[in-house]
Amino acid sequence: MGLLVCLQLIFAAGTLPCISRRSTCDREGEPLVDKEDLKLELSDEQYWVTQEKGTEMPFSGAYWNSKDEGAYLCICCDEPLFESGTKYDSGTGWPSFWEPLGKAKINTTEDTAMGMVRMEITCAGCGAHLGHVFPDGPKPSGLRYCVNSASLKLQENAEGSSA
Ligand SMILES: [Zn+2]
């Protein structure tokens, strides 16, 4: 299934820059994202957030207030991580989701930086830092996946935009 999704993305992304070439589907489980490539292709903020575990300013990103329908892809490897149907307004100023597209899409590790114990979330495909997950989300999951806009790229639904 992963391969099919990747192929669809590559075909759908004909006009995008070479990001789609770095798809992780070539060799499953082995991140193929090259840090030097990322430095050239990402903005400074996107690189800082995803590769150096930065956090964008709240209410500053592209997607914190977005209600557009579609899938949110990893900015580094194009893997679909979240979808608009599970996005909700958490009031924090960061895009918030109560569930990822699949548990296997996201890795969770304990983060004790800044004197807090938080659960960091990263892209399972390439290791990009996404944000943190907190246990204060809405039902049914009770989780809040707090993600930086800089880690995401919205692929809007083609069929959802009927006039
Ligand atoms: Zn990724």
Domain boundaries, the chain: 2-156
Position 8 scores a pLDDT of 53
pTM attached to this predicted model: 0.78
Q: How close is the Cα of 163 to the center of ligand 1, in Å? A: 33
80 CB-contact burial (10 Å; exposed 0-12 / middle 13-18 / buried 19+): buried
13-25 pLDDT per residue, tens = 444 444 444 444 4
Average pLDDT (72-79) is 97
Check pLDDT > 50 for residue 45: yes
Q: How close is the Cα of 89 to the center of ligand 1, in Å? A: 24
139-158 pLDDT per residue, tens = 999 999 999 999 999 999 87
Q: How close is the Cα of 21 to the center of ligand 1, in Å? A: 13
Q: How close is the Cα of 17 to the center of ligand 1, in Å? A: 16
Give the distance from CA 108 to its chain's centroid. 13
Check pLDDT > 60 for residue 29: no
Q: Which CATH superfamily is domain 2-156 in?
A: Peptide methionine sulfoxide reductase. (2.170.150.20)
Length of the chain: 163
Neighbours of 47 (CB within 10 A): 20
pLDDT band at 33 (very low <50, low <70, confident <90, very high): confident
pLDDT band at 10 (very low <50, low <70, confident <90, very high): very low
Q: Are 147 and 66 in contact (CB under 8 A)?
A: no
Residues noted as catalytic:
146
